[in-house]
Structure 1
Amino acid sequence: MVRPVTDDDIGLKVLREASAEAAEIIDIVAIHGIGAHPDDTWCKNVGTAESPQWVNWLDKQDMLPAVAPHARIMRYGYQSQWFGEEATRQKASTVAQRLLGALHRNRKEYPFRPLIFIAHCFGGLVVLKALLDARYDKDYWPGIFDSTAGLLFFGTPFRGAEGMSQMEMLEAAPREYHEDEVQTDVLKILDPGNEFLQEVVDQFGKMRRQGNRAEVACFYELKSSNVGKIVGKQDRTRFVVSESSGCLNLSDRTSKFSLSRTHFDMNKFRKPTEEDFETVRDVVEKMIGVSPRLVLARS
């Protein structure tokens, strides 16, 4: 059961301030997917169901803060529930504009500070749209496009989510919820072949060839998920985002990595010695190492 997202959960929240001089700081921003809580989506329970103990790898001292001590670590939250009493009509383009506004407000003093995004599922498509918008209107969104040095995508369906089609989701939801408790706009972009999805991914590819050469890492799942439990009670175990859909075309600055996890826990880690976390750690360290040089070269 997903915890309701309140007004206090929405927007950009600083999880960890950087331990460095202002000139050395980078910004890391994490963005969740649909049907997820902006904080819980990064948390792993290391306790029991009766006595849970949650570990958020974004702010646990020996995890991401240890990898990036000079980073201001933030997460962005938005209303992402598409069924139930808290259902919200939402689109990637809307969330992208709100994300840009939040970044602009929180980076006014240092608009050209290096920026790294960490995104899960739908959150990755929000990041792509935000970067495209920032590039086409640099005067309105100063520094955001030119400062982006790294992108980590966890199970982002660049070519659609094959695991459970939009039609299946729409058939299952009304069996559990009233018609006015189901918002479908956000699901459309997840369908393979969706024109908006294809356009965003194609434009991002062109953008990378023409300008922003940020480091990109795509992580894909190795375990199937019970997608039927999302809205109904019928078990349907499938891969949500395949390797081919979850990975952009490889290049000198685009790489892919497998994680021995399901789609719904590939963005959660319990301790720094887990092999999957070590894989992510190596990627983040590399991005941090090259980010000052990348941003300086663009400026």
Structure 2
Amino acid sequence: MVRAVTDDDIGLKVLCEPAKATAEEAAQIIDIVAIHGIGAHPDDTWCKNVGTTENAQWVNWLAKEDMLPALAPNARIMRYGYQSQWFGKDTMRQKVSTVAPRLLLALKRKREDLLFRPLIFIAHCFGGLVVLKALLDAWNNEKEWPGMFISTTGLIFFGTPFRGAEGMSQAEMLEAAWREYQEDEVQTEVLKILEPGNEFLQEIVDKFGKTRMQANKAEVACFFELKSSNVGRIVGKEDRIRFVVSESSGCLDLSDSTSKFSLSRTHFDMNKFGKPTEEDFEIVGDVIKKMVEAAHRLVLARSECNYASS
């Protein structure tokens, strides 16, 4: 059962600040922002229970000192929360094109005096599509969102369905939801973009691909699941075992700055880690360290390129 998202859960929340530093060290600080998927809680989505059902011990790998903060000691780590419940009494009429500008506004406020600080996004499922739309908007309107696109140096996607979620049919999900809830307690709009062949989804991915033709493009890592998920239990009581996002759908593009990795997890736990010695976390950790190390170099290279062409 997903915990209800309150007003206090929405927006950007700082989970970890880098240690106090000298002016020179402060210049090396980066921002990392994590964004959850639909039907998920902004904090719980990154947590794993390392205890038992009776005695739960939840670990948030974004904040646990020997996990993400250890991989990126010079990072301000944040997570972005939005209302994403599409069924039940707290349902929201939500979609990518409404979440993306709110994300940009939150980042603009938080980075008002840090426009060109390197920025790395970590996203799960639908959250990855929000990131793409936000970056597209930033690319198309530099005046409104100064520094947002050029400072983004790394993108990490966990099970983002760039070509649709083949295993999570919209019709099946709605059918299951309508068996459990009243018609006005089910919002269909948010699921449409997850359908293979959805025109809006294709447009976002295609247009974002054109931004990837520039030099010094952001590093991209796409993670895909190796275990099937019980998608039927998300909204109902009937088992439906499916692979939600395939390897091909979960890979953004085939450029030299995009890599893909498998994780021996289901779609719904591929974004949850409990300790730094988990093999899947070590795979993710290697990617993060590489992106963190390259972040300032990429921003500098882009600024020099823009200066040379002006």
TM-score by length of 1: 0.99
Query: Which residue, 277, 280, 285 being the options, matches 1:273?
Result: 277
> Could you tell me how far apart the structure 1 residues matched to 2:295 and 2:6 are?
34
2:136 is the alignment partner of 1:132: yes
> Could you tell me how far apart the structure 2 residues matched to 1:269 and 1:84 are?
28
1:80 corresponds in structure 2 to 84
The answer to whether the 8 A contact 2:216-2:301 is kept is no
1:90 corresponds in structure 2 to 94
Q: Find the residue that maps to 2:145 and give its secondary structure.
A: coil
Query: Which residue, 230, 237, 262 being the options, matches 2:266?
Result: 262
CA deviations over 1:152-195 (Å, ceiling 9, x no partner): 00000000001121111111111100111001110000000000
Q: Find the residue that maps to 2:66 and give its secondary structure.
A: coil
The answer to whether the 8 A contact 1:163-1:240 is kept is yes
Q: Find the residue that maps to 2:33 and give its secondary structure.
A: strand
2:17 is the alignment partner of 1:13: no
Query: Which residue, 204, 209, 217 being the options, matches 2:213?
Result: 209
1:234 corresponds in structure 2 to 238
CA deviations over 1:27-69 (Å, ceiling 9, x no partner): 0000000000000000000111111100000000000000000
Q: Map residues 7-86 of structure 1 onto 2, 5 A cutoff.
A: 7-19=7-19, 20=21, 21-86=25-90
Query: Which residue, 188, 194, 200 being the options, matches 1:184?
Result: 188
Q: Find the residue that maps to 1:243 and give its secondary structure.
A: coil
1:197 corresponds in structure 2 to 201
2:308 corresponds in structure 1 to none
After superposition, the Cα gap between the structure-2 partners of 1:212 and 1:119, relative to the gap in structure 1 and judged at 3 Å, is farther
Query: Which residue, 122, 126, 143 being the options, matches 1:122?
Result: 126
2:169 corresponds in structure 1 to 165
Q: Find the residue that maps to 1:209 and give its secondary structure.
A: coil
The answer to whether the 8 A contact 1:159-1:245 is kept is yes
> Structure 1 stretch 56-65 or stretch 17-26: which is displaced more?
17-26
CA deviations over 1:113-157 (Å, ceiling 9, x no partner): 000000000000000000000011111111110000000000000
Q: Find the residue that maps to 2:206 and give its secondary structure.
A: helix
**Which letter maps to 1:60?**
K
CA deviations over 1:75-111 (Å, ceiling 9, x no partner): 0000000000000000101100000000000001111
Q: Percentage identity across aligned positions?
A: 79
Q: Find the residue that maps to 1:88 and give its secondary structure.
A: coil
**Which letter maps to 2:157?**
F
The answer to whether the 8 A contact 2:229-2:242 is kept is yes
Alpha-carbon offset, residue 18 of structure 1: 1.2
CA deviations over 1:192-236 (Å, ceiling 9, x no partner): 000000000001111111366000000000000000001111101
Segments of 5+ residues of structure 2 without an aligned counterpart are: 304-310
> Structure 1 stretch 63-72 or stretch 201-210: which is displaced more?
201-210
1:293 corresponds in structure 2 to 297
Q: Find the residue that maps to 1:288 and give its secondary structure.
A: helix
Q: Map residues 136-155 of structure 1 onto 2, 5 A cutoff.
A: 136-155=140-159
After superposition, the Cα gap between the structure-2 partners of 1:211 and 1:132, relative to the gap in structure 1 and judged at 3 Å, is farther
Count of aligned positions: 299
The answer to whether the 8 A contact 1:26-1:72 is kept is yes
Segments of 5+ residues of structure 1 without an aligned counterpart are: none
Alpha-carbon offset, residue 22 of structure 1: 2.5
TM-score by length of 2: 0.95
Q: Find the residue that maps to 2:286 and give its secondary structure.
A: helix
**Which letter maps to 2:203?**
E
After superposition, the Cα gap between the structure-2 partners of 1:67 and 1:199, relative to the gap in structure 1 and judged at 3 Å, is same
**Which letter maps to 2:159?**
G
Cα RMSD, aligned residues only: 0.8
